[in-house]
Amino acid sequence: MERLAQRLGRDLAAEDISVVAIGGAHAVGNFLRRVGPRGLGLEVAGLCDAREEAHFQRALESAGMGSDLTREDMERLGFYTCVEDLEDELIRCLGVAAVERVLAAERDLAPFRKFQSQPAQLGRPIDAQLRRFMGTRAGRKAKYARVLVDALDVSRLPRPLAGVLGHLRVGGP
């Protein structure tokens, strides 16, 4: 989020916006209770993976941010769901060929090709292989989040990322 904001000419620190890693989806409830409306009362927003959406819904409800929340309700609160996950959003936005060019620039194309030849990867769609490859080594997801954001055409952002940054602007939503 910080790198994308920077690419869009925004200075989140100057806007008094902090990007906080909460330690995984299962930490969201605790985080919201501490900083949300019943805690510090701070404006919050975020991303979740599709498989974690129900967990986020319950956490938002438990934190006093609504009840029987739909995806649209969550978005009004500033919480956007990635179709699969952040990597999927970036891969779909860029396209496989562009992601492979990024892998080549990062000297990871040969290791990716080797990874593709593993029995568990044979027959899987290439976008699924790319997503899995990015999670196979510590730090690789964070690295590729940055370099794929750098490769994005900022006029065509993944909807969840654009949504969170749109929600977090001076003066609120």
Instruction: Please name every residue paired with 94 in a beta bridge, in sequence order, or none if there are none.
Output: none
pLDDT at 53 exceeding the cut of 90: yes
Taking residues 113-123, what's their average pLDDT?
97
Going from N- to C-terminal start, the domains of the chain cover 2-85+157-167, 87-151
Decide: 115 and 121 in contact? Cβ < 8 Å: yes
- Rounded CA Rg of the chain: 17
Supply the DSSP string of 78-113, one letter for each residue: TEEEESS-HHHHHHHHH-HHHHHHHHHHTT-HHHHH
Q: How far is CA 134 from the centre of its chain?
A: 14
pLDDT-above-90 percentage for the chain: 92
Instruction: Give strand ranges (E) for the chain.
Output: 46-49, 79-82
The reported pLDDT for the residue numbered 111 is 97
- Residues 7-49 pLDDT 10s: 999 999 999 999 998 988 889 999 999 999 999 999 999 999 9
Distance CA 77, CA 40 (A): 16
Hunting for tokens 């910080």 — which residue is that? 2
pTM, full prediction? 0.89
Whether 126 has a pLDDT exceeding 60, the answer reads: yes
Return mean pLDDT, the chain.
93
Is pLDDT above 80 for 172? Answer: no
> Does residue 91 surpass a pLDDT of 60?
yes
**What is the spatial distance between Cα 129 and Cα 6, in angstroms, rounded to a whole number?**
29
